A and B are shown apart, each in its own frame.
Chain A
Amino acid sequence: MQITLTVNGKQYSNDIEPRMSLTQYLREVLDLTGTHVGCDTSGCGACTVSLNGAAVKSCTLLAVQADGGELTTIEGMANGNEMHPIQKAFKEHHGLQCGFCTPGMVMTAANILKDNPNPSEEEIRHGLEGNFCRCTGYHNIVKSIQHAAEEINN
Chain B
Amino acid sequence: MIPAKFDYIKASSVSEAVDLLDKHGFDAKILSGGHSLIPAMKLRLNRPEVLIDISGISGMDSITEEGGEIVIGANCTHHDIATSKLVNDDLNILAQTAKAIGDIQVRNRGTLGGSLAHADPAADYPATVLACDATVVAEGKKGQRSIPISDFFQGIFTTALEDDEIITSIRFPKVKNGNYQKFFQSASRFAVVGVAVVKSGNEVKVGITGVADTPYRAKGVENAYNGSADAADHAVDNVEVMSDHFADVEYRSHLAKVMTKRALEA
Residues of A participating in the B interface, judged by any CB pair closer than 8 Å: 1, 17-21, 24, 40-43, 45, 48, 54-57, 60-62, 64-65, 67, 108, 111-112, 115, 127, 129-131
Report if A61-B109 is in contact (Cβ < 8 Å); known contacts: A41-B39, A130-B104.
Answer: yes
Interchain CB contact (< 8 A) of A19 among B2, B43, B83: B2
* CB pair A64 B105 closer than 8 Å: no
Tell me the chain B residues, 42-73 only, with Cβ under 8 Å from chain A: 42-43, 51, 53, 55
8 A/B residue pairs, CB under 8 Å, sorted by A: A19-B6, A21-B2, A54-B108, A55-B104, A56-B105, A56-B109, A60-B39, A127-B104
**What's the least CB distance linking B187 to chain A, in Å?**
8
* CB pair A62 B8 closer than 8 Å: yes
Q: CB-CB < 8 A to A127: which residues of B?
A: 104
**CA–CA, A129 to B186, complex, Å?**
11
Q: CB-CB < 8 A to A108: which residues of B?
A: 104-105
The number of residue pairs between A and B whose CB atoms lie closer than 8 Å in the complex comes to: 73
**CA–CA, A62 to B53, complex, Å?**
11
Q: Digitize B7-51: 1 where CB-to-A-CB distance is under 8 Å, 0 elsewhere.
A: 110100000000000000000000100110011001100000001
Q: Kindly state whether residue B5 has any CB partner on chain A within 8 Å.
A: yes
* CB pair A18 B51 closer than 8 Å: yes
Report if A54-B79 is in contact (Cβ < 8 Å); known contacts: A18-B6, A60-B39, A65-B55.
Answer: yes
**CA–CA, A123 to B127, complex, Å?**
26
Q: CB-CB < 8 A to B105: which residues of A?
A: 45, 48, 55-57, 108, 130
Q: CB-CB < 8 A to A24: which residues of B?
A: 2
Residues of B participating in the A interface, judged by any CB pair closer than 8 Å: 1-8, 10, 31, 34-35, 38-39, 42-43, 51, 53, 55, 79, 83, 102-106, 108-109, 188-189
* CB pair B34 A61 closer than 8 Å: yes
* CB pair A65 B103 closer than 8 Å: no
Q: CB-CB < 8 A to B102: which residues of A?
A: 130
Nearest-neighbor residue (CB-CB) of B38 within chain A: A60
New A-B pairs, 5, CB < 8 Å, besides A43-B188, A57-B105, A67-B10: A19-B5, A21-B2, A55-B108, A57-B109, A129-B104
**CA–CA, A57 to B7, complex, Å?**
22
Q: CB-CB < 8 A to A45: which residues of B?
A: 103, 105
**CA–CA, A43 to B79, complex, Å?**
18
**CA–CA, A20 to B35, complex, Å?**
15
